[in-house]
Structure 1
Amino acid sequence: MKNSILKNGIFGGIIVSIVMISMTLYMKTYPDYEPSAIIGFGSMLLAFIFVILGIKQQRETNNGVITFGKAFLTGLSISLVISTIYVLVWLVIYYNFFPDFMEQYSKMVLKNTSPEELAAKTAEMNQMKEWYKNPIMVILLTLMEVFPIGIVVSLIGALVFKKK
């Protein structure tokens, strides 16, 4: 089981990390253009296909039987591995290659904000800049980008593959 969780988690983590690296390079190269959120979200969904595969493999290992709880825990474990890889890769990128990310991101967001929303969005960006001064907050904010999707996919996978 541990082998299946690690293998699927690493494959999913590699997929989502490659897309994140590509989007970060794009953002550094073209700071005036916002990377596609659809591509980022799509890569996360693609990576979490490995959650479904892992749950299915676990069911096959148990002679075609898996409870909802066991399937959900398997999916959650794979999601945690994927999310951990995603966070670790972001930390390396942020602290070593893109330390001015929040400045560039804030400029990009504020540039694309309507005048009536500018004050609220400026306050939001200033709050995020403050949060990004603390490494724990960087980890938590990055984890919150990806892990909730893993929870949802784990629930769906557990519902689909449960079999007593």
Structure 2
Amino acid sequence: MKNNILKNGILGGIIVSIVMISMLFYMKAYPDREPNAIIGFSSMFLAFIFVILGIKQERTNNNGVITFGKAFLTGFAITFVISTLYVLVWLVIYYNFFPDFMEKYSEMVLKNAKPEELAAKTTEMNQMAAWYKNPLMIILLTYMEIFPIGIVVSLIGALFLKRNSSS
């Protein structure tokens, strides 16, 4: 089980991290253009295909039988590995290559904000900038980008792949 979790978690983590790195290079190259959030979230869903594959592999390893709980825990563990790799890659990038990310991101968001949204967006960006001064908050915010999606995929995967008997 541990091998299954690590293998699928690492593969999913690599996929989502490569896309994140690509989007950050895009952001550095084109600071006036906001990266497409659909691409980012699509890469997360693509990475979480490994949650489904991992649950299916676990079921196969158990002679075609897996309970909802066991399926969910397998998916949850794979999600945790994927999310942790995503967070670790972000921390390396942020602290070593893009320490001014929050300033650049705030500038981009405020430049692209509609006039009626400017005050609210300014408050939001100031709050994020304050949070980004604390490394623990950076970790928590980064986990919150990806981890909830993985939990939902784990629940859906467990629901559809559970099989209580080998009939």
TM-score normalised to structure 2 length: 0.98
Q: In the alignment, is residue 18 of structure 1 matched against residue 18 of structure 2?
A: yes
The root-mean-square deviation of aligned C-alpha atoms, in Å, is: 0.4
CA–CA distance in 2 between the matches of 1:80 and 1:22? 22
Structure 1 unaligned runs (5+)?
none
Structure 2 unaligned runs (5+)?
none
Give the deviation of 1:112 after TM superposition. 1.1
CA–CA distance in 1 between the matches of 2:147 and 2:159? 18
The match for 1:44 is 44
CA–CA distance in 1 between the matches of 2:139 and 2:62? 35
Give the deviation of 1:64 after TM superposition. 0.3
Q: Which is worse superposed, 116-125 or 88-97?
A: 116-125
The match for 2:54 is 54
Which string of whole-angstrom CA distances, capped at 9 and with x for unpartnered residues, describes residues 29-57 of structure 1? 11011111011000000000000000000
CA–CA distance in 2 between the matches of 1:31 and 1:94? 16
- Summarize the alignment of residues 110-125 of structure 1 with structure 2, pairs less than 5 Å apart: 110-125=110-125
The match for 2:133 is 133
Counterpart of 2:89 in 1: which secondary structure? Answer: helix
CA–CA distance in 2 between the matches of 1:33 and 1:112? 9
- Summarize the alignment of residues 1-164 of structure 1 with structure 2, pairs less than 5 Å apart: 1-164=1-164
TM-score normalised to structure 1 length: 0.99
CA–CA distance in 1 between the matches of 2:26 and 2:115? 27
CA–CA distance in 2 between the matches of 1:68 and 1:102? 41
Alignment coverage as a number of residue pairs: 164
Q: 4+ runs of 1 displaced by more than 4 Å?
A: none
Give the deviation of 1:116 after TM superposition. 1.1
Counterpart of 2:63 in 1: which secondary structure? Answer: coil
CA–CA distance in 1 between the matches of 2:115 and 2:17? 35
